[in-house]
Structures are given as structure tokens and as C-alpha cells.
Structure 1
Amino acid sequence: MKITAIEIKHYLLPLEPPFKAAWDPNPRKKFASTVVQVHTDEGITGIGSGDLMTGFEGHEHLIIGQDPFAIERHSQVIDNIDFHYGRCWPLDLALWDLMGKATGQPTYKLLGARSDKILAYASTGEMVTPEVRADRAQLLLEQGFKAMKIRFHHKDVRDDIKVVEAVRKSIGDKLEIMVDANQGWKMPWDTEPTWDLKKAYQVAKELEQLGVFWLEEPLQSHDFRGLAQLRQMATGIRIAGGEMNRRMHDFREMNFLGSLDVYQPDVALTGGITQVRKIADMVQSSGAWFSPHTWTNGIGVMANLHLAAAISHCPYLELPYDPPSWTPERRDFIQQNKLNIDSEGYLHLPQQSGLGVELDLEAVERYAYNKVYVGEST
């Protein structure tokens, strides 16, 4: 089997009403998704999605004509492109989808098949009043969720803590609560100072009293020593992070220093399945958890689901979900199969070969706005 073509397309879903993301001061009126398809001479096509794959054009000859199963070789090529240009890891996801289809196996079985299901935590995205968030938490509980994540981004962190207090008062101990401090990285326009170690510690101690399961990104993503120190100081609460750290040596250094309890590299944004699997093995061998960030789209969630179910020791996987503003219909608009939990809060692994993703042909026709590149073998 040989790779004959790589096709990259972009899709744009209008959002009405807009989605008021906690990390963005401007309501989001559109949601973009990129899809890469890898075609072969045997008629099998692999599908992946994630970042824009900026910088891939001009390097397609390094992949086309190759055996798709030479995944370590392809991962090195993508890593080289990542260093010089931009994230092209959706190509790695498409190759794992392709290998699953070629062997007739779901991808998670190729990766280890530790389990065929995993509990999802509802990862909320908006900042709303304590009363609204408490009401939404009750709805999550009724739907079967066992855990949820609340995002911080008020100017005064005490206003954020009030939201957690309201949720805890409303649902008691029926839901685990995670908190995302959003201090690890910044949007281009964000010039506000991030938390220092003392503030992060003070917040962690407050959240510990509220029984918070983990505190995510309380310091900048490259403050490895500060994170390690905070983890030792705030011994009653887990420290999570790593969603935007892009290089293997970041995770090697964090693992060496003991920076985190929960490591969150996203296969769609950092390293693909091939490299993130190695990161997960490394940190789990040191006693930490691997629980990937998944906030891209449904295909990105699915790829992370396959890896997490195959190898993760962490009981939960992130599911971006915050109705009515963020729903499966929006998150998964380019695919037929919308991701949902069962009545017990589990995401189940699809049993068809590969990642188990089928594109919604009507949606991709309707929302396509640009075909970036089609590379074919000659």
C-alpha cells in the first residue's frame, strides 16, 4: 500500500447565537474546522482533523509515495515541519485512521485496548453567573455526567470561586469538579499579567476546601519549576496542564521535575497519536495521569478518545460540552456521528475500523470555504 494523495479542506460553521468563550472577550460567531484526508492506491482513505496544517504545502512529497504504516518515519517528518512552520499533526491522526481501516480494527485496539469506554467530564466553555452555572450543573447530573470542568477568567478570581461555591452547594458531592485557571497560555490580544506562584497557591487552597478534583494551568505552561513547587505546596489538590506544550523535551523536563499530576497533551495539536502515546507512557510510568485536552472538534475528541481508552489510567476524558451554547451539533458539525455519553456518563469506543468517523457529506458541501491543497503522486 502506498499513499497517493493528501487532501486538506477547511470548513466554517456560522454560530447564531454566538459562543461566548471564557478565553475570548469577543463572542465567537463562527467555528472553523480543518480536515485532512490521506488517500492510497488501495482505495482506503484516512481522515484526521485539528489545526490548520499551515506550512505543509511544499512538503507533501515527503509523505506521498510512502507506506502509511511507516508511522515513526512520518511522525519525524511532521515533527520537523512543526518546528519550522506550524502544527500538521492532523496528518498523523489520518494515518492512524488509515492503518485501522487497512487492518479492519478500531484504532484503540491497535494502541492497546485497555478499555472500550471511558467516563467523560463535561468541559464547559462559557463564563456565566454562579446561578446559571449551578443550574447547568444540575442538568449535567441528570444527563449522566459524573464530572464537570469550570473555567476561570474573571478579573477578580474571587468571582470565579463564587461559581465553584454555587455549583458545589447545588450538586453536593454528586459531581467531581475540575477547574481550568486558563493561566498557561494567552490569546494574541491578552496582555493581562498571569498568576504568580503565591496567587496560584492561595487559589489552590481555596479550591481544595471545595473538594475540587484538579486545578488546571494555574501557572504559565513553561514555568516547570513553579508548577513543581506548587504541586508540592498544594498537596491536597491535583495540578494539571500541558495542553499547549508542543515539544517532547517540555514533557521530559516536566516529568523529571514532577511538575504535574495530570498531563494533557492533545493529539490533534501536539505530537499526534504517535508522539503523545510516548509522552503518556513516560508520565504514567512516574505515577502521573494522562488525560488529554480535546477542545478542537469531534474528530479531535475521537482521536484523543481512542488513545485515552487504549492506555490512560485517568478515570476521565474531556468532552467539550456546555449547552445551550456548545453542543454536539456545533462541535461535531462536519461528521455524521455526534459524540454523546450514555446514561452512566461513559463515552464508548466505536467498533468500526479506524477512528470510526464518517464525514457528513451535506455539511462538508455546505460549509466548505477553501481547499488549501491537494497533493498527488505522479
Structure 2
Amino acid sequence: RIEGRPVWQMLGGTSSRLRLYASSAVHRAVPDMVATAHRMLDAGFEAMKIRFGRPSIDDDLAVISAVRDAVGDRLTLMVDCNQGWRMPWDTSQPWSLETATTIAARLQAEQVFWMEEPLHRGDYAGLAALRGHLAETGTMLVAGGEMTREPYEFRELLERDCLDVFQPDCVCSQGISGLASLAREVVTRGKVFTPHTWGNGIGMLANLHLTAGTVGHEGSLWVEWPYDPPEWTIERRDYPLATHLGAAGGWIELGDSPGLGIVLDEALLARTASSTATFR
């Protein structure tokens, strides 16, 4: 802001425009997930990510199969396996390499583009083995890194060739300047850099500017656009902002506003301010 230039330009100005993939979150049943996929197509998205975590893996796989049957090759599909980290209420262990490999074969049959967090983020040997196996047997990529924080962890992931797609979040790890060098190195090594962006509009803008400035569309392919109404709407995601972010035809233009281009909704923030926080 002080310089009067957008962050993406200050990082190298690779691109002001990024292609987005629709990132769903709710574990919907088959008919509702198919309807969601059609809605994303109608909104102009060319790619969509589906999150696993239904009562059984067969339920998850049935959703992928049904969506693929419904949309054909009009929509690139990604799958978030959610094995990379655990919340306090999680009671099951992350998948083993054997389990992940078996599920990967099913996903490859449905032409899934990437398999995200198929193993715990610290299972470097398992991730490297799975990535190597998939490289030999098909074209599906291994993605991960959303909760990876420390530089040494990313160094291990790079040196051991664990991932095809790197997904750090500058809100959680190293900030914009810290991840800028990682983004460039990832792409130099022939891999994809496309950050995790779940959070509010401020964090999303930070990750968008990071990506646009360092690697652009060619280095990211798609960037995550959290969107899964009615539970997760643009209004809910971008509530701190005076103007919510907008996508057109599956792309976003960052423009030339200085800094991150953020204008806060000061009145809303004043109305909703709290001096306490409760985690449920």
C-alpha cells in the first residue's frame, strides 16, 4: 500500500489473472453432489474438488463415480482425502500406504486429476512411494502441504520427491515472502504450486497475490476457490471485506489496487467485535 502497487506486481508480476477450481467441503449424498457439480459447471468452473470423509470410503467413491458419470470430461475432478493431519475429535489413524494405493487405483479409474493428502503429511517415505507408483501407472498427481509449516518440512517433501502439487497456505506457514521462494523452486522443479485458501477473504487474497506474483497461471494451473453453498457462501467467506471477491467464468482478476486491494467492512467488524472466544 505504501508503494502504491499491488502485491502481485511487487512479487514479480507474473500474472494478474488466475484460473480457479471450485473447492467443495460438505459431505453431500450422491444426488446433491451431482447437483453441486452441475452448479459449478454452470458458474463457469472447469475443475472441482470433492472432499472425502463420509461414513465409509465406499460412500466417498460412489460420489466420485456418480459425478464423473454425470459430467463426463467437462469437469476436471480433484479429491481431498484429508489424511494429512488430525483434529482433536478424530479417532481413526491416517491411511496406510497399502490403503492409499488401493484407493488411488479407484480414483485413477475415474480420471481424478490429483489425490490430495492421501497419507499423513510427515510420512515422507510413504508419500514418495505412492507418488512414484502413480507416476509409473497413470497420470494422477499427489498433492499436499496445507498444514505443513516449517521450511525443513518442505525441504524434505522436495528432496524426497513426495508431491507433484504443493499446497502451503501463507496464512499458516512462512507468510507471503517466505513462501515466494518456495513457490519459485517448486515450479522450477517441474511441479505445481497452488496454495490452500480456506479461511476468510483476507487470507485468500494473500494467497492469490502470492501465486499470481511468483508463478502465475502456468505454475499453479488452478487456485482453490472455497465455494459450497448454502453452507459455505461467498458472503460468509468474505465477510470482513467491504466488497466480496468475484470470479468470472472460473477466473479471477486481481487488478491494480495497492497492497492486497483490501477494503474492510469496518461497520460490520465493529458490530461483531468480541473480547472473548469459544471453541466448540
Normalised to the residue count of structure 1, the TM-score between the two structures is 0.70
Distance in structure 2 (CA, Å) of the matches to 1:311 and 1:158: 39
Distance in structure 2 (CA, Å) of the matches to 1:282 and 1:252: 10
Tell me the residue number matched to 2:258.
Answer: 353
- Cα distance 1:263–1:154, how it changes in 2: closer, same or farther (>3 A)? same
Is the helix fraction higher in 1 or 2? 2
Q: State the 1:371 CA deviation.
A: 8.7
Q: Which of these residues, 194, 199, 210, is aligned with residue 307 of structure 1?
A: 210
**Aligned to 1:369, what secondary structure does the other structure show?**
coil
**1:231-270 → structure 2 map (5 Å cutoff):** 231-235=131-135, 236=138, 237-270=140-173
Confirm whether residue 226 of structure 1 aligns to residue 126 of structure 2: yes
Matched positions, count: 271
Distance in structure 2 (CA, Å) of the matches to 1:233 and 1:260: 12
C-alpha contact (below 8 Å) 1:268/1:296 kept by paired residues: no
Q: Which of these residues, 321, 325, 335, is aligned with residue 241 of structure 2?
A: 335
Tell me the residue number matched to 1:82.
Answer: none
Distance in structure 1 (CA, Å) of the matches to 2:272 and 2:234: 16
Q: Deviations over 1:197-243 (max 9, x none)?
A: 01101111111111111000000011111101000112221000011
- Cα distance 1:357–1:371, how it changes in 2: closer, same or farther (>3 A)? farther
Q: Deviations over 1:135-179 (max 9, x none)?
A: 011011001111111000124211101111111111111111110
C-alpha contact (below 8 Å) 1:109/1:310 kept by paired residues: yes
Tell me the residue number matched to 1:111.
Answer: 11
Residue type of the alignment partner of 1:347: I
Residue type of the alignment partner of 2:237: R
Q: Deviations over 1:313-348 (max 9, x none)?
A: 021000110011101100011111211210x21011
Distance in structure 2 (CA, Å) of the matches to 1:158 and 1:350: 44
Q: Percent identity?
A: 42
Tell me the residue number matched to 2:227.
Answer: 321
**1:86-97 → structure 2 map (5 Å cutoff):** none
Q: State the 1:350 CA deviation.
A: 3.0
**Structure 1 segments of 4 or more deviating over 6 A?**
none
Q: State the 1:308 CA deviation.
A: 0.9
Distance in structure 2 (CA, Å) of the matches to 1:238 and 1:185: 19
Tell me the residue number matched to 1:30.
Answer: none
Confirm whether residue 289 of structure 1 aligns to residue 189 of structure 2: no
Tell me the residue number matched to 1:203.
Answer: 103
Is the strand fraction higher in 1 or 2? 1
Residue type of the alignment partner of 1:137: A
Residue type of the alignment partner of 1:104: G
C-alpha contact (below 8 Å) 2:94/2:119 kept by paired residues: yes
Confirm whether residue 212 of structure 1 aligns to residue 112 of structure 2: yes
C-alpha contact (below 8 Å) 2:192/2:221 kept by paired residues: no
Structure of higher CA gyration radius? 1
Q: Deviations over 1:66-115 (max 9, x none)?
A: xxxxxxxxxxxxxxxxxxxxxxxxxxxxxxxxxxx111101100001111
**Aligned to 2:274, what secondary structure does the other structure show?**
strand
Distance in structure 2 (CA, Å) of the matches to 1:246 and 1:115: 26
Distance in structure 2 (CA, Å) of the matches to 1:159 and 1:211: 18
Tell me the residue number matched to 1:69.
Answer: none
**Aligned to 1:215, what secondary structure does the other structure show?**
strand
Confirm whether residue 156 of structure 1 aligns to residue 56 of structure 2: yes
**Aligned to 2:275, what secondary structure does the other structure show?**
strand
Tell me the residue number matched to 2:21.
Answer: 121
Q: State the 1:282 CA deviation.
A: 2.1
Distance in structure 1 (CA, Å) of the matches to 2:196 and 2:156: 19
Gaps of 5+ in 1: 1-100, 373-378
Tell me the residue number matched to 1:60.
Answer: none
